[in-house]
Homo-oligomer: A and B are copies of this chain.
Amino acid sequence: MADIAQESLDLHRAHKGKLEVASKVPVKDRAALSRVYTPGVGAVSTAIGEDKTRVWEYTMKGNMVAVVTDGSAILGLGNLGPEAALPVMEGKAVLFKELAGVDAFPLCLATQDPDEIVAAVKAIAPVFGGINLEDIAAPKCFDIEKRLQDALDIPVVHDDQHGTAMVVLAAFLNALKVKGAEAGAVRVVMNGAGAAGVAVAKMLLAAGVADLTICDSKGVIHAGREGLTDAKRELAARTNPRGITGTLADAVKGADVFVGVSVAGALSGDMVRTMRTDPIVFALANPTPEIMPDEAAAAGALIVATGRSDFPNQINNALGFPGIFRGALDHRVRRITDDMLTQAARNLAAVVETPDVEHIMPDIFDPKVVPAVADAIC
């Protein structure tokens, strides 16, 4: 990790970041200039002025996504502000382009106030075909996303929620396939009820999971617990069918599947040993997972997945967002629904023809990934 960190610092300094804005049309003489700029461009502006929908045909809008953050929840690093978020957002834009041909531009906002974030995104929306919200802290992220979805005629996706949930569901489906189990018959315990946790829970429920119990830093979420946020209260009503209370250790006893979207070290080998035979462990905290893969395997886990590229079974958002927006732009989708994302997860899972314990997810660079996901967003 130390080497990668230094190499990453060196790369960013050498290139002054990672993104550039380039012309798709060479402009080397006055003839080209008169078509790209004045006077010719006046005809294009006039055409769009007469019919605004032509902006999709004649401008960059139809292939351009804004990657918007307030820097309040950067990776696992916390609230470091907009400047510190920029390298992550540039990286995300690089992946949009390299993996899916989507042009993406990072906007790191100088405000963390929800009303001001909503106002800023509404203001800049005309030049974009979609909005990818990123690394905005829970619970404000839920409200910001909903208000923007209601206000704008382009898709708005908080990727930490829905991109993560789609990719986790794909991994879950293939893990069950390897295990030979059905979604409705397994006990699932999830640790973490932030932006990702809430969305993953909803996707698992939509996919037919009947016995899902969710924990946060205060223990098991149940309807009788005091001080739940709105999002957690809603989840409490739809989960924990056996009325479990207590800690994560209480919840995982007898569970078939653990999904961690929480913090390093949250799951111990002893806790895995209390799960049912051949458990599935998704330890997705970054960069250090809830449990290291070797420890989980030693405790009897059949399948272990993490967010990391240096272990098997990497569950990474990069398997999701490029295809999600490729599909949304290609099909001019105004709102990305849970049904679309569930189908995208099924398509993504199906990219792996014969999943096994070390191969439940396709490689990020597998050229079948983006088309499979994009096909479902329509």
Contacts and interface: CB of A to CB of B under 8 A. Distances in A.
Interface of A: 1, 4-9, 11-13, 15-30, 33-49, 52, 55, 57-64, 74-77, 80-88, 90-95, 97-98, 103-111, 116-117, 119-120, 122-127, 286-287, 307-309, 316, 318, 364-365
A107 B86 contact: no
Contact of A105 (B5, B21, B30): B21
Nearest to A314: B30
Nearest to A2: B43
Copies of this polypeptide in the complex? 2
Q: Is the interface of A mostly helix, strand, loop or mixed?
A: helix
A108 B127 contact: yes
B12 A18 contact: no
Contacts of A11: 25, 35-36, 40
B122 A110 contact: yes
Contact of A17 (B60, B125, B287): B60
A80 B49 contact: yes
B110 A125 contact: yes
B42 A75 contact: yes
Nearest to A42: B75
Given A8-B41, A48-B80, 8 more contacts: A4-B35, A4-B39, A12-B44, A27-B98, A33-B309, A45-B75, A60-B106, A120-B120
Contacts of A44: 8-9, 12, 87
Nearest to A40: B8
Contacts of A75: 38, 41-42, 45
A109 B125 CA distance: 7
- Which 8 residue pairs across A and B have the least CB separation, nearest first? A8-B40, A5-B43, A49-B80, A17-B60, A120-B123, A37-B91, A49-B84, A17-B59
Contacts of A127: 82, 86, 106-108
A365 B108 contact: no
Contacts of A36: 8, 11, 18, 91, 94
8 contacts: A11-B40, A19-B103, A20-B22, A20-B60, A45-B88, A55-B83, A82-B126, A116-B123
B34 A4 contact: yes
B109 A22 contact: no
Given A18-B60, A19-B23, A80-B48, A124 B97 contact: no
Nearest to A59: B17
Among A60, A106, A124, find the residue whose CB has the most chain B CB atoms closer than 10 A: A60
B88 A111 contact: no
